[in-house]
Structure 1
Amino acid sequence: MLTAVRRELAGLATSVALVALAGCGTTGLPATPTPTPGRPGPAMVQIENSILARPHAGLQQADLVYEYLAEGGITRMTVIYFKPSGNQRIEPVRSARPVTIRLWHAYKGVIFFSGANTKVLQMIQQQQIPALTESSDGGAYFARDASRRAPHNLYTDGDRLAQGLNKYAPRVTYQLPSPGTPGASPAPAVANRIVFNQTNVHRVTYTYSAADGAYAYGTETGPLIDKNTGQPIKPVNVILIQVAHHDAGFTDVLGAPAVDFDLQGTGPADVFSKGHRYTATWDLTNAELPLKIVGADGKPMHLPSGLTWIHLVDPGTPITAS
């Protein structure tokens, strides 16, 4: 995995050297270097959501979270930080899944994870995806939480993520929608409480607070707590995208069938923001650009700034909103 990263960086360095040599004239003076465009891609951290993984830490400070079925009814998250910083813990970090690869192509950052099935590791290596584990660079990006039981005790923090991005992140130029308010036409329905089953064992309840301008995340066992704040995790925007999943064709490290998602093209979406529900469409027709949420007017939706939480749910999943 790290070998693939080094190979990619070595190839890039060779290319840059060849460009510089080609630009040298008879005077022997090097050509003016071309500035690297764009900005570093984001940190993409794999976080588990089993009962043993709770309470989480560091999710409230994220920019974007994708939550999806992993196996056995348990969900996993790809937690995205566009400009990570600070020493607050982010945990527990766990393994990558096939959909992690799809999300990487959309956002092109650096994956921070504990490992993966052999097949997923091969995909990471073959596609030269920057991906860092506990053993990368002498353990620079992770540590173990002595208060938790392994394997649910691997953590990182914003400063460690930033260090990894500075060294390995691809440069990106895509633009994300600017903050705003969804269109009022058609008039959105009231949605102060949202209830749905993401899997057969994971029941999700969101309760809106006008004072917070956010939805408190509740689960089948109670509030989903971020121990850095001591409070329930409170996304400003909650989005459910309907997307089918299928057997990935191989098993995970425990022998369970691996899950992949048909996360391509377009599909129905429900957007919850500021106590209202909006009907929308998710759009990933270009797999190499971030997923778009398109409103009823056919234009990308502009949502209030703050943590946005995207749940991948089965097509036709019942949603109760009131």
Structure 2
Amino acid sequence: MNKLSWFILMCLVCGTVVLASIIIRQSNQSSEAVRKPIDIPTLSQESVGIKQDAVDQKKESKTLLTGVKTETLMKNRPFMVMVNNHPSARPQSGLSSADIIYEILAEGEITRLLAIFQSEEVQGSIGPVRSIRPYFIDLAMSYDAIPIHAGGSPDAYNILSNQSIQSLDEITNAGPFFWRESFRKAPHNLYTSFKNIEEGIDKKGYRNQIHEKSIYTFLLNKSNDIGERVSLFNVTFLIEDYKVTYQYDANSNKYLRSINGVPHVDMNNNEQLTASNVVVLGTDHKVLDNEGRLQVKLMDSGPALLYQNGIMKKVEWKRDQINTPIRLYEQGQEIAFVPGKIHFLIVPTKPTFEAHITY
């Protein structure tokens, strides 16, 4: 091969190598472009977590005192109205909207109803409103509830004053937020309303935000707890012919309340009062004076009956700290309530606790 031919051959070889190198390099660059992730804006884990928490919170929001799921969670502080339960005061107004009702003796062998409101706005009036007692204040404070009343015993006024308890009293500090109706005679005709109470709380500058996220634990599903099936039971306090009855309705899983065989209804809507949980508990009652004023022991522990899901359970009530509510226990474990309204009926332990309940 002559020198010219050799030179031409070498040029062809070098050109082929260079061309192959360029092709390989372009191919690699193309592959890298394919493998490179596309730069798409994404939400951080923290942002996703916040959004998910918001969804979960909306999905799982429950009312403070009844554990009922809701999408319109009210954050107002509870208030407790002292409601007259004399026969001349029935039917009362607003009770069907109460989250929790306590029935407890005042003097004179007639009970008083302490109605705690928080989860829903009452449509219509609330009452008739009556006076307050020291153990009523104790129960109100156990739920961080503002007491709503008309007057009170001397001991109750001392407690309200000495402890600077925020309350709305028709007689001393909140008269304009109450009114009297003409269709009943005093003292069975004093009323207020949800709107008036809210305005009174705002006018007085009281705190109106809840402290606690929950008060009790609630069952997620209908429980199959072991107990005695009881569909109807009666409770008497002191007067034999004054009998409160609860009838279990399996369709609604609620207990319907009657007094002396007559449905106990709310005058606002003519609906019979119902509860998903009824608690009858016994404790010591002591007469303090000639007026028949009582001292009712609400600390320590004692016997109780819990009615829920058509079943009666013998349990124990306990309360060992001020500003905490009465709780129920079985074999040392706190009992959960069925989501819904709760009625507590507090009876004396004399002659015996059991003597006040029949079924």
TM-score, structure 1 length as denominator?
A: 0.78
Q: What corresponds to 2:310 in structure 1?
A: 275
Change in Cα spacing, 1:83 to 1:161, as seen in structure 2 (3 Å) is farther
- The code of the aligned residue for 1:176 comes to I
The answer to whether the Cα contact below 8 Å between 1:46 and 1:95 also exists between their aligned partners in 2 is yes
Task: Identify the residue that residue 15 of structure 2 maps to in structure 1.
Answer: none
Q: Which segments of 5 or more consecutive residues in structure 2 lack a partner in the other structure?
A: 1-74
Residue 257 of structure 1 pairs with residue 292 of structure 2: yes
Residue pair 1:85, 1:162 contacting (<8 A) in 2 also: no
1:80-137 CA-to-partner distances (Å, cap 9, x unmatched) read 1124524411111101122112213312221100111223212211111112122566
Is the Cα contact below 8 Å between 1:41 and 1:165 reproduced in 2? Answer: no
Tell me the C-alpha RMSD between the 2 structures. Answer: 2.2
Q: Distance in 1 between matches of 2:171 and 2:303?
A: 40
Letter of the structure 2 residue corresponding to residue 108 of structure 1: D
The match for 1:126 is 162
Query: Which residue number in structure 2 is paired with residue 199 of structure 1?
Result: 238
Residues 77, 118 of structure 2: 8 Å contact kept: yes
Q: Counterpart in 2 of 1:310?
A: 344
Gap runs ≥5 in structure 1: 1-38
For 1:190, the equivalent position in structure 2 comes to 229
Alignment CA distance shift 1:222-1:87 (3 Å): closer
Check if 1:59 corresponds to 2:95: yes
| 3-state SS in 2 of match to 1:100 | helix
Matches for 1:83-98 after TM superposition, within 5 Å: 83=119, 85-98=121-134
- Counterpart of 1:227? 267
The residue matched to 2:81 in structure 1 has which SS? Answer: strand
Q: CA deviation at 1:46?
A: 0.2
Q: 1:146 to 1:88 in 2, by over 3 A?
A: same
Structure 1 contact 108–170 (Cα < 8 Å) conserved = no
Indicate the larger mover: 135-144 or 57-66: 135-144
1:162 aligns with 2:202: no
2:232 and 2:245 in contact (8 A); partners too:
yes
Post-superposition Cα deviations, 1:14-38, rounded to whole Å, max 9, x if no partner, equal xxxxxxxxxxxxxxxxxxxxxxxxx
The answer as to whether partners of 2:82 and 2:113 remain within 8 angstroms in 1 is: yes
Q: Could you tell me how far 1:311 is from its partner in structure 2? A: 0.4
State the one-letter code of the partner of 1:277. Answer: M
Using the alignment, how far apart are the partners of 1:138 and 1:114 within structure 2? 9
Q: Does 1:144 align with 2:180?
A: yes
Confirm or deny: 8 A CA contact 1:177 1:300 kept in the other structure: no
Whichever residue aligns with residue 278 of structure 1, its letter is K
Give me the whole-angstrom Cα distance separating, in 1, the residues matched to 2:111 and 2:173.
29
Structure 1 match to 2:321: 286
Matched residue SS, 1:123: helix
**Are 1:301 and 2:301 an aligned pair?**
no
User: Given that residues 133 and 142 in structure 1 are in contact (C-alpha distance below 8 angstroms), is that contact kept between their aligned partners in structure 2?
Assistant: no
- The DSSP-based 3-state class of the residue aligned with 2:96 is coil
Q: 3-state SS of the aligned residue for 1:60?
A: helix
> In the alignment, residue 276 of structure 1 is paired with which amino acid?
I
Q: Select the structure that is richer in helix.
A: 2
TM-score for both structures, normalised by structure 2:
0.71
Q: Does 1:213 align with 2:253?
A: yes
CA distance in 2, matches of 1:53, 1:164: 24
Structure 1 pair 280–170 and aligned structure 2 pair: CA distance change class (3 A):
farther
The correspondence of residues 6-25 of structure 1 with structure 2, limited to 5 A, is none
Distance 1:178 1:243, change over 3 A: same
More strand by share: 1
Deviation at 1:161, TM superposition (A): 2.7
Query: What is the alpha-carbon distance in structure 1 between the residues aligned to residue 109 and residue 172 of structure 2?
Result: 31
Q: 1:44 aligns with which of 77, 80, 105?
A: 80
Q: Is the CA contact 2:223–2:309 (under 8 Å) kept in the aligned structure 1?
A: no
Tell me, what secondary structure is at the counterpart of 1:101? helix
CA distance in 2 between partners of 1:301 and 1:286 (Å)? 18
Partner of 1:3: none
Deviation, structure 1 residue 309? 0.6
Q: Could you say which residue in structure 1 is the equivalent of 2:21?
A: none
Larger radius of gyration: 2
Residue 243 (structure 1) shift: 0.7
2:217 is aligned, of 157, 178, 187, to 178
How far 1:304 sits from its partner (Å)?
A: 1.8
Listed one character per residue, the Cα deviations across residues 274-296 of structure 1 (whole Å, up to 9, x for unaligned) are: 211122211111122122122x2
Aligned length: 276
SS at the partner of 1:257? coil
Structure with the bigger RCO (C-alpha within 8 Å, sep 6+) is 1
Cα distance in 1 between the residues matched to 2:211 and 2:181: 36
Distance 1:71 1:148, change over 3 A: same
In the alignment, what sits opposite 1:17?
Answer: none
Aligned to 2:6: none
Give the Cα separation in 2 of the matches to 1:52 and 1:73.
15
Question: Which residue number in structure 2 is paired with residue 111 of structure 1?
Answer: 147
1:42 touches 1:169 (CA, 8 Å); kept in 2?
Answer: no
